[in-house]
Structure formats: C-alpha cells, structure tokens
C-alpha cells in the first residue's frame, strides 16, 4: 500500500512540476524489478539517404534511481544508422560538432542485420556516454552536427529543440 502511495505521489509531482510541453516525445518508464527509471527522448530521424548512408536517427536517454534521488552523471546519446553496404567501417570515427567545436565521446557499437527488408544493407547502433555537464552544453548550442567519418549530418532547429527539452529535464533538481 505504501509503495502505491509513494509512486502516486511521485507521478503527481511529475505532472505538476514538469510542464507537459517538456514531456512531448519523451517516455518516462520505471522498471519495478531493478528500481531504475529511464527518461528517453523518442527516436528522431536526422537524415534520409546521404552519401553511403540510407538513414540516420538519434535518441537520448538517462537512467535514474527509481526514487529520483539524484541527477544522472551520464546521458546516453544513441545514433542508429543504416549503411548501404554489407559491412560496417570498423575504423569509423564519430565526432559531435557543437557550435563549431569538435567533441569525441566513448561509445558502444553494435550491428543490426538486414534493417531494410530486401536490401543487403547493414545497420549500426552507437551509444555515446556523455557526461551530464557536456550534455547540458549541447542543449544550448546554436549549431549542432554529427560527423560519421567524412559525412556530416546537421541538426535542424526542431532537433536542437528536442535536445534542449531533454537537457532541461536532466538538469532539474531531484524531486526526492
């Protein structure tokens, strides 16, 4: 009974404290087993066909303890690409360009087999672990792009606004 009351209180605080515009396109999921809450910006397409890429999309997520006791130290920036090739470039160097300054972050990469039915292409999921302070700088950027090797993908105003929404949520003081 008390767990139900606490969960209800937290959800009602979220509804009152966080303006609903801030939650547009953002999922807030609690895993009861691990007591971890995931705040995730839904996948947003960056580009259609460009150079050797069929598509590129991004998503952002942060993990919290279930009671929201502290802000996350790390924010995960996920890129999902579909490459018009049968193999991935193992030496691919990915750089974030924030207001003209190049930033590199560590990443976990994994292949996605046959992401487009009927095509012999391959996909790739890249998750970059970004320190919270660096991520907050990304939210206020006037220009933002991602370079995959020698191919640059620019983020438009709508994409930068989505990143900014996520930075405002990640920077909020803990609720508990």
- pLDDT, position 68: 65
Q: Cα-flanking dihedrals φ and ψ of residue 84, to 5°?
A: -80, 65
Cβ proximity of 154 and 162 under 8 Å: no
User: Where along the chain do its domains lie?
Assistant: 2-171
Alpha-carbon distance of 148 to 128, in angstroms, equals 13
- Give the pLDDT of residue 34: 86
The confidence score (pLDDT) of residue 15 equals: 44
Q: How large is the C-alpha radius of gyration of the chain? A: 18
Rounded Cα gap, residues 30 and 15, in angstroms:
15
Tens digits of pLDDT across the chain (176 residues): 555 545 444 544 444 444 444 556 788 888 888 888 889 999 999 999 999 999 999 999 998 876 766 788 899 999 999 999 999 988 899 999 999 999 999 999 999 999 999 999 999 999 999 999 999 999 889 999 999 999 999 999 999 999 999 998 888 755 54
How distant, in Å, are the alpha carbons of 8, 40, 65, 139 from that of 35? 15, 16, 6, 28
Task: Quote the CA–CA distance of 10 and 16 in Å, as a whole number.
Answer: 10
Q: What is the pLDDT of residue 76?
A: 97
Question: Using an 8 Å Cβ cutoff, are 166 and 38 in contact?
Answer: no
């Amino acid at each position: 009974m008390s767990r139900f009351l606490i969960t209800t209180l937290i959800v009602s605080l979220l509804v009152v404290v966080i303006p609903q515009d801030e939650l547009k396109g953002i999922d807030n999921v609690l895993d009861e087993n691990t007591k971890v809450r995931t705040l995730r910006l839904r996948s947003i397409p960056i580009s259609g066909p460009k150079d050797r890429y069929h598509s590129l999309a991004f998503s952002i997520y942060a993990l919290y303890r279930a009671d929201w006791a502290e802000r996350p130290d790390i924010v995960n920036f996920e890129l999902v690409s579909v490459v018009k090739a049968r193999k991935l470039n193992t030496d691919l160097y990915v750089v974030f360009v924030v207001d003209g300054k190049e930033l590199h972050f560590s990443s976990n990469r994994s292949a996605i087999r046959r992401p487009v039915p009927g095509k012999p292409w391959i996909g790739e999921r890249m998750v970059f672990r970004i320190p919270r302070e660096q991520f907050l700088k990304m939210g206020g950027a006037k220009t933002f792009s991602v370079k995959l090797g020698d191919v640059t993908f620019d983020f438009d105003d709508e994409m930068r606004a989505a990143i900014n929404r996520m930075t405002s949520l990640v920077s909020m003081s803990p609720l508990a």
